[in-house]
Amino acid sequence: MKILICDKTEQEYIEQMRAAGLTVDVRDDITSEELPNVLPAYDGMVVRSRTKVRQPLIDVCPNLKVIVRGGAGLDTIDYEYAKSKGIVVMNTPLANSASVAELTIGYMLMLARSLYKASATMKAEKWDKKSFTGDEIGGKTLGIIGYGNIGHETARRALALGMKVLAYDPYVSSPNGIRLVALDELLAESDYISLHLPRTKETTNMIGAEQFAKMKNGVRIINCARGGIVNEEALYEALTSGKVAGAAVDVFAEEPPTDWRLLKLDNVIASPHIGAGTREAQARVGAEVAEKLINFARNMQPA
Closest CA to 165 of 242, 104, 99, 252: 104
Catalytic-labelled residue, pool 15, 34, 136, 255: 255
Phi, psi of 288 (to 5 degrees): -70, -40
Answer yes or no: 255 catalytic.
yes
Answer yes or no: 196 catalytic.
no
Q: Could you say which DSSP state residue 14 is in?
A: H
Query: b/e per residue, 156-188, with b = 16+ CB within 10 A?
Result: ebbeeeebbbbbbbeeeeebeebebbebeebbe
**What is the rounded distance in angstroms from the CA atom of residue 202 to the CA atom of residue 205?**
8
2-5 and 23-26: which strand pairing? Answer: parallel
Catalytic-labelled residue, pool 226, 232, 284, 288: 226
Catalytic-labelled residue, pool 48, 152, 196, 273: 273
CA distances (Å), origin 297, targets 20, 22, 44, 98, 301: 9, 8, 10, 29, 7
Answer yes or no: 12 catalytic.
no
Please enumerate in sequence order all residues whose Cβ is within 8 A of that of 226, keeping only pairs 6 or more positions apart, or say none: 73, 75, 197, 198, 199, 203, 251
Q: In 163-249, which ranges are continuous DSSP H helix?
A: 183-189, 209-213, 232-241
Phi, psi of 153 (to 5 degrees): -65, -40
Q: Could you say which DSSP state residue 220 is in?
A: E
Catalytic residues: 226, 255, 273
